[in-house]
């Protein structure tokens, strides 16, 4: 037994020697020799980490990012790994992912001097971020592609009526695509000008239920040490079923407070004039106020709480309403490369007057649960496959507006 223990211990020491030798070679700048030594070692957190350091030293930042991400699969709680991954993203000018990794690194166990240096990096990332962009493409089976009623009948003027096929929920399989980009060139050290566009399309074969939304915004932003303030004009267009459904123009003011390196507090106020060409009675201004908290709970976990209140003043009182939406999103990185996000949402909307057709004042209550799962090991050209399941249920005092919906989206993301 003693011989067996001694043999295993000797094997462990022998396995550690090449890694220690590789560290010495990296320190001496002999990168090719260190890489050759590490490539014959088992893939683990330490090996991937050292290969990432070699790639950074050779200015091959994309390879470094890939190696550090592989290392995090084995050890997602490592603040040191996230710090080096954030630095690689920063050097690759991917500031959105760099910001995410520095925030998580600062929530971990780092020596005080290293934390101070990481805070400076994080502040610099937020000041230097000029471009941000996103892209998604998904196949989406959906039990209610037309947002139709889950009720089989409704009451009109006190009498029951069976709903037609056009009003009932319909299932289908669609393709969902979207993209966004924002550019914020610097005017001075503190001031920037923000310009952005975003578009999303849901297509279900034919045009009856196709839904396209496009938006744009532009305006100044001021960045302080622990605060960012922006004001922007906004433009929105929406087409449904191949026809113009909604257009809006307005503006918004947003503030983000950073009380510490692990917390962000977004606040927003917006006002828009909406126009509905096919249903003019619904046209009118919409005012909204939002507040939230984004908190990094640890190197592997983050949580976001958002609350939004809105007032819509339509041309008729029965279409005017007040609404409130509250959502919580929690994301956690697990061992084995899995990342899971759970996001419950509750929403309510109260209308001002009885509906002219139903004789009842409409009040809606909605619940939504969204669960997203991805595996960080399955990266394809910097994208990783993502599966999102969404369940929606809305109840209303007018049964026509009761909704049930289950949707599954299989997409790709670069933010992980």
Minimal CA–CA distance to 407: which of 376, 382, 372, 380? 372
- What gap in Å lies between CA 261 and CA 251, rounded to an integer? 29
Q: In CATH, which superfamily holds the domain spanning 131-413?
A: monomeric porin ompg (2.40.160.40)
User: Token pair 């502040």 is at which residue?
Assistant: 123
- What gap in Å lies between CA 117 and CA 124, rounded to an integer? 11
416 token code pair: 């992980």
Minimal CA–CA distance to 240: which of 313, 147, 316? 147
For the chain, where do the domains classified as CATH 2.40.160.40 start and end? Answer: 131-413
The answer on pLDDT for 8 being more than 60 is no
The answer on pLDDT for 388 being more than 50 is yes
User: Residue 260 — pLDDT band, cuts 50, 70, 90?
Assistant: confident
| pTM of the full structure | 0.81
User: pLDDT tens across 214-230, in order?
Assistant: 999 999 999 888 899 99
User: Token pair 């257009």 is at which residue?
Assistant: 247
For the chain, where do the domains classified as CATH 1.25.40.10 start and end? Answer: 14-128
User: pLDDT tens across 339-351, in order?
Assistant: 999 999 999 999 9
pLDDT score, position 155: 53
Minimal CA–CA distance to 70: which of 385, 379, 415? 379
User: pLDDT tens across 368-383, in order?
Assistant: 999 999 887 777 776 7
Residue 107: alpha-carbon gap to chain centroid:
20
**CATH says 14-128 is which class?**
mainly alpha
Mean pLDDT of the chain: 85
pLDDT score, position 74: 87
- In eight-state DSSP terms, residue 204 is -
Distances in Å between the Cα of 372 and the Cα atoms of 291, 292, 388, 390 are: 24, 21, 4, 9
User: pLDDT tens across 195-254, in order?
Assistant: 999 999 988 876 678 899 999 999 999 988 889 999 999 999 999 888 999 999 999 999
- What gap in Å lies between CA 353 and CA 408, rounded to an integer? 36
């Amino acid at each position: 037994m003693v011989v067996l223990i001694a043999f295993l211990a000797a094997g462990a020491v022998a396995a550690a020697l090449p890694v220690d030798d590789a560290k010495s070679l990296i320190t001496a700048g002999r990168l090719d020799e260190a890489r050759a030594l590490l490539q014959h070692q088992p893939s683990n957190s330490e090996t991937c980490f050292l290969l990432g350091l070699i790639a950074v030293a050779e200015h091959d930042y994309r390879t470094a990012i890939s190696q550090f991400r592989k290392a995090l699969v084995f050890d997602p709680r490592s603040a040191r790994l996230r710090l080096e991954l954030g630095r690689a993203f920063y050097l690759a000018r991917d500031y959105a992912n760099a910001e995410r990794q520095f925030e998580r690194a600062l929530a971990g166990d780092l020596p005080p001097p290293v934390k101070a240096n990481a805070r400076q990096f994080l502040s610099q990332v937020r000041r230097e971020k000029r471009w941000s962009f996103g892209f998604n493409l998904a196949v989406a089976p959906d039990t209610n592609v037309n947002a139709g009623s889950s009720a089989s009948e409704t009451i009109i003027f006190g009498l029951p009526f069976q709903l037609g096929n056009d009003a009932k929920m319909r299932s289908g399989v669609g393709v969902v695509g979207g993209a966004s980009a924002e550019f914020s060139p610097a005017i001075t050290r503190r001031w920037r000008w923000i310009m952005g566009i975003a578009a999303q399309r849901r297509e279900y074969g034919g045009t009856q239920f196709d839904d396209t939304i496009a938006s744009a915004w532009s305006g100044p932003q001021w960045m302080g040490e622990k605060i960012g303030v922006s004001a922007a004009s906004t433009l929105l267009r929406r087409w449904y079923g191949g026809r113009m459904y909604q257009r809006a123009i307005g503006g918004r003011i947003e503030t983000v407070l950073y009380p510490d390196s692990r917390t962000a507090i977004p606040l927003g106020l917006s006002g828009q004039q909406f126009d509905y060409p096919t249903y003019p009675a619904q046209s009118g201004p919409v005012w909204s106020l939002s507040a939230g908290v984004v908190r990094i709970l640890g190197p592997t976990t983050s949580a976001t709480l958002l609350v939004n209140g809105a007032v819509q003043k339509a041309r008729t009182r029965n279409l005017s309403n007040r609404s409130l939406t509250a959502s919580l999103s929690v994301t956690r990185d697990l061992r084995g490369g899995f990342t899971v996000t759970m996001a419950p949402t509750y929403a309510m909307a109260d209308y001002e007057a009885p509906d002219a057709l139903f004789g009842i004042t409409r009040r809606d209550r909605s619940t939504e649960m969204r669960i997203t799962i991805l595996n960080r090991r399955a990266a394809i050209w910097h994208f990783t496959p993502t599966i999102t399941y969404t369940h929606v249920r809305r109840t209303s005092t007018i049964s026509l507006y009761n909704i049930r919906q289950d949707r599954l989206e299989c997409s790709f993301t670069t933010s992980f």
